[in-house]
Amino acid sequence: MKLFAALYLDEDVNVLVGTLLIAQGFDVVNARDEGMLGKSDEEQLAHAIKLDRCILTHNRSDFETIHTEYISIGRTHAGIMLARRRQTAYEIVKRVVLILNKLTADEITGQILCV
């Protein structure tokens, strides 16, 4: 069993979020460092799956649709966290940390969570 979920930050998430999470000891990579800037949401999620990482994004409508499509065809992912755009990086980190400290990576797998 994997205790903490590793995160992949979509390109629309402020890199400060990743920096703050890494400072707290979490395993985080972002789209920029992974060479994924400009890729579609489907490609972003596929890359997160390849890395076995939960994706953190602000793009709620697209990722809810992709998640529903995955469920309908029996596919899964390591989790999708949806953060509201109006939150500061510090607010997002606080909410993500609460989830990561409460749920194991296995419990997050296949889930869509609002942050």
Kindly state the tokens that stand for 47.
Answer: 């890359």
Tell me the sheet residues that pair with 82.
57, 114
In a domain, 2, yes or no: no
SS (H, E, C) the chain: CCCCCCEEECCCCCHHHHHHHHHCCCCEEECCCCCCCCCCHHHHHHHHHHCCCEEEECCHHHHHHHHHHHHHCCCCCCCEEECCCCCCHHHHHHHHHHHHHHCCHHHHCCCEEEC
Tokens 């409508």 appear where?
61
pTM of this prediction?
0.94
Q: What is the pLDDT of residue 5?
A: 95
Average pLDDT over residues 97-106: 96
Domain count, the chain: 1
| pLDDT tens track for 56-83 | 999 999 999 999 999 999 999 999 999 9
- The answer to the question of residue 30 being in a domain is yes
Evaluate if residue 1 carries a pLDDT over 90: no
Domain membership of residue 92 as a residue range: 7-114
- Tokens matching residue 78: 């390591």
pLDDT tens for residues 8-56? Answer: 999 999 999 999 999 999 999 999 999 999 999 999 999 999 999 999 9
Q: Tell me how far apart the alpha carbons of residues 7 and 26 are, in angstroms, rounded to a whole number.
A: 8
Within-domain flag for 71: yes
- At residue 3, the pLDDT reads 82
